[in-house]
């Protein structure tokens, strides 16, 4: 069974945050691609783009069949730095283009006019197929949309059963912006939740599969980090799981609310 897509983006991908052991990262990317994954997510800040590129090169999958995304870090968001470091990312990844390039955070060197003009240039030059933002609140997206010629394709944010992002989901749906969930397993916190555990037991699957299916049922793409083959496989199996409306509602009404990622440069509106 193939993974559903959201405007051409596979809705289940491999995240590589903290996968900073070169050989392990390359092996995990190769393993995931050979298993059937077609969406790989990395970032300049992860310091593993070269390993990701090595894994892609080693896999028995054509580059054009892979949806590859990376992110420009907050210290590289001046106009010229965007252009220079985006090319460096391309070189490290061993590719001529990116399917999606994100602004990692609206912080530090982020200047909407300068940063977004550089993204438009990369888009016009064919070096990126889609423009993305990450950790943007609606007001940031509104501002960016006014300045960009290219459409904003996706916003990558933390989403999981303890941070369902209901308002942001409504905004994204109204403005044709895809949502991509990082930390979709709440950094392993989902494994201690009784509601998710009960639903997982009923289906004979893991809590991870339940959380990933919950995201997919809400139209959200997930990029869970995994390194070992067993975890990569378990997440992959979520594509065949179906949850009932009642089960979705039970997850929706989990009372626990908890953000896992909140650096000091995060938007003040969080």
Annotated active-site positions, please? 46
Helix (H) or strand (E) holding 84: helix 79-93
Q: How far is CA 120 from CA 116, 151, 175, 236, in A?
A: 6, 9, 19, 34
CB 177 within 8 A of CB 155: yes
Pick the closest to residue 132 from 4, 7, 5, 265 (CA basis). 7
According to DSSP, residue 1 is labeled -
Q: How far apart are CA 29 and CA 20, in angstroms?
A: 12
Q: How far is CA 243 from CA 165, 196, 252, in A?
A: 20, 11, 12
- Region of 218 please: left (phi>0), alpha (psi -120 to 50) or beta: alpha
């Amino acid at each position: 069974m193939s993974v559903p897509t959201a405007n051409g983006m596979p809705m289940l991908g491999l995240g590589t945050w903290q996968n900073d052991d070169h050989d392990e990262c390359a092996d995990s990317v190769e393993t995931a691609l050979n298993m059937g994954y077609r969406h790989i997510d990395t970032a300049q800040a992860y310091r593993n783009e070269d390993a990701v590129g090595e894994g892609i090169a080693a896999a028995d999958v054509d580059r054009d069949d892979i949806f590859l995304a990376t992110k420009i870090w907050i210290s590289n968001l001046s106009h010229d730095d965007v252009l220079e470091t985006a090319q460096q990312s391309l070189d490290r990844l061993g590719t001529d283009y990116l399917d999606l390039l994100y602004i990692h955070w609206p912080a530090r060197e982020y200047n909407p006019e300068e940063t977004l003009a550089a993204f438009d240039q990369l888009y016009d030059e064919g070096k990126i197929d889609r423009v993305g933002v990450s950790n943007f609140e609606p007001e940031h997206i509104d501002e960016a949309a006014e300045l960009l010629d290219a459409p904003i394709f996706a916003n990558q944010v933390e989403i999981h059963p303890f941070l369902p992002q209901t308002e942001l989901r409504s905004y994204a749906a109204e403005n044709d912006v895809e949502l991509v969930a990082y930390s979709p397993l709440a950094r392993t916190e989902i494994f201690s939740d009784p509601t998710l555990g009960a639903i997982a037991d009923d289906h004979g699957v893991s809590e991870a599969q339940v959380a990933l299916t919950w995201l997919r049922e809400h139209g959200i793409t997930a990029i869970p980090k995994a390194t070992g083959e067993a975890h990569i496989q378990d997440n992959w199996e979520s594509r065949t799981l179906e949850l009932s409306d009642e089960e979705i509602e039970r997850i929706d009404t989990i009372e626990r609310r908890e953000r896992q990622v909140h650096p000091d440069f995060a938007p003040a509106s969080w």
